[in-house]
Amino acid sequence: MSILVNKNTRLLVQGITGNEGLFHTTQMVAYGTQVVGGITPGKGGEWVLEKIPVFDSVRSAKENTDANATIIFVPARFAPDAMFEAADAGIPLIICITEGVAISDMMRVRNYLDQKNVRLIGPNCPGLLTPGEAKVGIIPGNIAISGNVGVVSRSGTLTYEVLYAMKNLGMGASTCVGIGGDPVNGTNFVDVLEMFEDDPHTEKVIMIGEIGGNEEEKAAEFIRTKMTKPVASFIAGQTAPPGKRMGHAGAIIEGGEGSAADKIKTLEAAGVKVAKHPEEIPTLLN
């Protein structure tokens, strides 16, 4: 079992002929992911990696491949339209890797996708990895093994560090979900925690948060009131000064809210074990 992606995922790649799209498509195919088609307007009829057809639109790609997910590797100014197009084509799961998408554009996208009942992961995220089944995004496939620990994170780099630390301890992941660190995204901590709670194969959960916003506090309330599975966490940016942006657009402390100390206090009050350093996280679940 897993959440969101598995061996039955039939994936499209929007922007497949660009440098980033082609590089990561090669990696995903090598991992075993079913990449069934790509989209680059004006290049319909071409082929990528000798076996993946390229289409001019998401709609024609879906009609010809029966795809059930798409991943977006296009520049920020084109990403909103790419997400709108995928939703209009009836793709139920969209993963947007693109960073730098304007908040105003994401507000429009999120409102539209909610009306269409479409699940968006990202933008500005590393994507998804279900070890041994499917790699949809840029998470390195060789740093994780299959297991019963669900991982959800706002930080891409810390995700890799934690997955590798888990692997070194012989601890595997059911699915790893990188939700991205932008202020407006498609899927939040609570959404993923709810999926892990309902997944019979996921027995424990790791949540990697960071300063800024109040998503971790919302997650703590969900964990306290709804979750039966143990959760361990790490909050990045514990030494960040107020008003200092740390990497992600959403990782900024403003108005006295969003500090690491507050998030840690709230999570611990909900029964979550919080690590002082990322590499400690797996040991908290033993």
Catalytic residues: 248
β pairing state of 204-210 and 146-153: parallel
Helical pair 79-88 and 58-65, crossing angle rounded to 10 deg = 40
- Six-digit token pair at 108? 């429009």
One-letter identity of residue 11: L
| Residue 162 to residue 167: CA distance in whole angstroms | 9
| Residue 82 to residue 30: CA distance in whole angstroms | 25
Write out the DSSP string of 162-222: HHHHHHHTT--EEEEEE--SSSS-S--HHHHHHHHHH-TT--EEEEEEESSSSHHHHHHHH
Helical pair 215-226 and 260-269, crossing angle rounded to 10 deg = 0
